[in-house]
Amino acid sequence: MSKEQKDSGLTMLPGQLEPVMVGRRLFLRYAGAAVAGGAVLASCKDEENPTTVPSSVDLGMGDIGILNYAYALEQLEAAFYTQVIATPYTGITDAEKTLLTDIRDHEIIHREFFKAAIPVANRITDLTPNFTGINFSDRASVLGTAKAFEDLGVSAYNGAGRLIKDPNYLVLAGKIVSVEARHAAAIRDLLNPKSADFAGDDIVAPTTGLDPATKPADVLPTAQKFVQTPLSGANLPTA
């Protein structure tokens, strides 16, 4: 791997704690957008449960919005696998635990990467997961959820690629999405070993050989089921 490949993208300026993700001009533009987004947020209300639900989190706009979108998904995945390893399901094998610990670590690394990469002024907060529908002591429940998360992550990154303007961010998203796809295949293989499921006809279109690509507007409602914090992708790019 060349130096350019490793270093493509963002730089750390001397004396700065946070890496500088965008040029100053871009940063100002996004900062301005965040202020505008704040006004939108202030007008949002959760009609059903206004007292207990935290205020809505707006992912933002432009490339930073897409990075926040990815950060939200990685937070969700990291929280899930952290719980899986903390409270292993009944009958978990050593091999399964090793594999799921690997995935946990990858997702934590992804989460921490986005956290460090997104300028703090534009970064979404730490999300509170909602895993009430998952039975962490049951293998089928855990692996079934893992499968859903990984497939969702793959299709979300695939669908977000076209919305990214900066080629450096696009390459970064590409570096992560294939790891999510590797996870998806491994989890699916755990559920049904040596079957076609690792890239099954239920997910990879058999006539085209394509994984899905899903727009943020279609991913967020699914992700929202597992996050207490209401997420808004209203300002994300759509084309």
Partner 1 sequence: MNLFKIFSEIEQFDPEATERYSFYSRRNLIKYGTNLAAAAIPTLVATTFNQAFAQATTPPSAAAIEVANFALTLEYLEDEFYRTGLAAAGLVPAADRTVISQISKHETAHVNLLKTALGAGAVAKPTFKFPAGTFTNYTTFLATARAFEDTGVQAYKGQAATLINDKDILQIALQIHSVEARHASEIRRMQGMKGWVSDTTQTSFTQAGINLKTLTGKSDDAIREAFDEPLTKDAVLAIVKPFLA
Q: Using CB under 8 A, list all residues that contact partner 1.
A: 1-2, 5-12, 19, 21, 99, 102, 105-106, 108-110, 112-113, 116-117, 154, 157-159, 161-162, 164-165, 167-168, 170-172, 174-186, 189, 194-196, 198-200, 204, 206-213, 239
Residue 37 vs 62, nearer CB to partner 1:
62
Give dist(CA 7, CA 4) in Å, integer: 5
Exposure pattern of 128-147 as b/e (b: 16+ CB <10 Å)? Answer: ebebeebebeebeebbebbb
- CB within 8 Å of 71: residues ≥ 6 apart: 111, 114, 115, 118, 123, 124
Residue 176 or residue 232: which is nearer to partner 1 going by CB?
A: 176
Nearest to 187 by CA among 212, 154, 160: 154
C-beta closer to partner 1: residue 111 or 139: 111
User: Rounded to whole angstroms, how far apart are CA atoms 75 and 161?
Assistant: 19
| Nearer CB in complex with partner 1: 11/49 | 11
Nearer to partner 1 by Cβ, of 7 and 218: the residue is 7
Contact present, 87 and 109 (Cβ < 8 Å):
no
Q: For residue 18, give both structure tokens.
A: 């946070």
Q: Is residue 80 within 8 Å of residue 225, measured between CB atoms?
A: no
Nearer CB in complex with partner 1: 93/195: 195
Shortest Cβ 235–partner 1 spacing (Å): 19
DSSP state of 89: P
Structure tokens at 112: 């921490």
Closest approach of partner 1 to the CB of residue 147, in Å: 12
